[in-house]
Each structure stands twice: as structure tokens, then as C-alpha cells.
Amino acid sequence: MTVEVAYALPSNQVIIPIKMPLNATIEQAIQTSGILNKFPEIDLAINKIGVFGKLSKLDASLRHLDRVEIYRALIADPKEVRKQRAADGKVMKKGGGDVLAED
């Protein structure tokens, strides 16, 4: 069967198509792809793994045409970013920013 192993950095994305035997696991596909050699920062004990955006375990079986995705850690917590944007918006509405006086 054919599967893909994907990993993305802010500057580039790598998708490696590979042939695997039926009932191969996610971990076997990652090892076979050689992606761990290309990106030594990937740590399977830390990085989350998924198939087409759905979190999966390393021992999960793959199906033909699955895409294994290796996720990086988030730079910022999305909830905190939204809270900060909301707080900034409230300050702007109350203060209205700098207004130039008209003569």
C-alpha cells in the first residue's frame, strides 16, 4: 500500500510517499520514510502524530493512501492569543486611540 509521511516547518513542507506492507503501523511508516534523519528535532515521544488531522497513536494501523502527519509544538497558545486580541480590542474601543484636535 502507498502512504505519505508529512512534516512542515514555517519555511517548508515535506511529504514523503512510501510503499508499506498491509497493516503497517504509523511508527513503521515514519521509520521507513527516513524523515527522522532529515529532521533530527522530531522526537516521537514528544511530537504528536496524526492521520489526516486526527490524532493517532504510533501503533495504529494504516490504510492505503493515508497521510501520516508529524505535528510541531505550537509557538503560542491559541487561547491566550485570542484573549490578548480581545483585550486589545476592548482597550481600543474604550480609549478610541489618539485623536488630533481640530483648529
- Taking each continuous run of H as one helix and of E as one strand, the counts in the chain are 3, 5
User: What tens digit of pLDDT does each residue of 14-45 get?
Assistant: 999 999 999 999 999 999 999 999 999 999 99
CATH of domain 2-84: 3.10.20.30
The predicted structure's pLDDT at residue 100: 54
Element at 28 (helix H, strand E): helix 26-33
- The dihedral over CA atoms of 26, 27, 31, 35, expressed in degrees to the nearest 10, equals 70
The conformation of residue 9, written as its DSSP 8-state character, comes to: -
Q: Whole-prediction pTM value? A: 0.70
pLDDT above 70 for 91: no
Which amino acid does the sequence have at 40? P
